[in-house]
Amino acid sequence: MLPTHALSGMVLGLAVSAVAPEFGPVAIAAGLFGGVFPDLDMYAGHRKTLHFPVYYSLSTGVALVLASLVPNAATVAAALFLLAAAVHSVADAFGGGLELRPWEGTSDRAVYNHYHGRWITPRRLVGYDGSPGDLLLSGALAVPLVLTLDGPFQWVVVVSVAVAGTYTAVRRHLPDVADVLVGDLLVSVVPEALRTHVPDRYLEHGR
């Protein structure tokens, strides 16, 4: 889920700040942004449009070499952004599929591999987005962050964990809510323009 990706990006930045404290803030901010960025495709081709498990990984290699040869705020930020986006895209393969109820394990689509032109099948190592295992992962990633960060970054961590806990608590009820919306309200009442703001996976049953 998104908070887990945000926190994992920040942990990558934190690792940089341990070896090069002068680049700590920029690395953590870039890691956070890179961790979140792929999921901006939530409403348009989720886990395909902005998810590039292969291309982010390849460009991360180039960016890391560049940042180590010419270390400055721009190269470090670029490297951490790409690294966090790569980790996000690869990590999605270890979660559940894209179906409405990912705990049922019926989808064979986890994340799109643009390089090979096909979907990577879900490995379900952390169950699905918003599973107890996912929440546990969020909590584990948050520990080193809350212990070392302060100011706005610490607030980002606290809010992420709160969102993760809330999302996990309601996750299994979301499809039922979506069914009601799609079946009774969305299709008949809500204009087409607004419907585009509902992620595709929730519209499966309304089509």
Residues of this chain that bind Zn ion (CB under 5 A): 38-39, 92
- What minimum distance in Å lies between the beta carbon of 129 and Zn ion? 8
Residue 183 CB, shortest distance to Zn ion, in Å, is: 27
Of 9 and 13, CB closest to Zn ion: 9
In the bound state with Zn ion, the residue whose beta carbon lies nearer, of 94 and 103, is 94
Residue nearer to Zn ion on the CB measure, 38 or 97: 38
Q: Which is nearer to Zn ion, 38 or 175 (CB)?
A: 38
User: What's the closest the beta carbon of residue 33 comes to Zn ion, in angstroms?
Assistant: 14
Nearer to Zn ion, 34 or 175 (CB): 34
Give min distance, CB of 179 to Zn ion, in A: 23
How many whole angstroms separate alpha carbon 92 and alpha carbon 176?
Answer: 24
Minimum distance from CB of 6 to Zn ion (Å)? Answer: 11
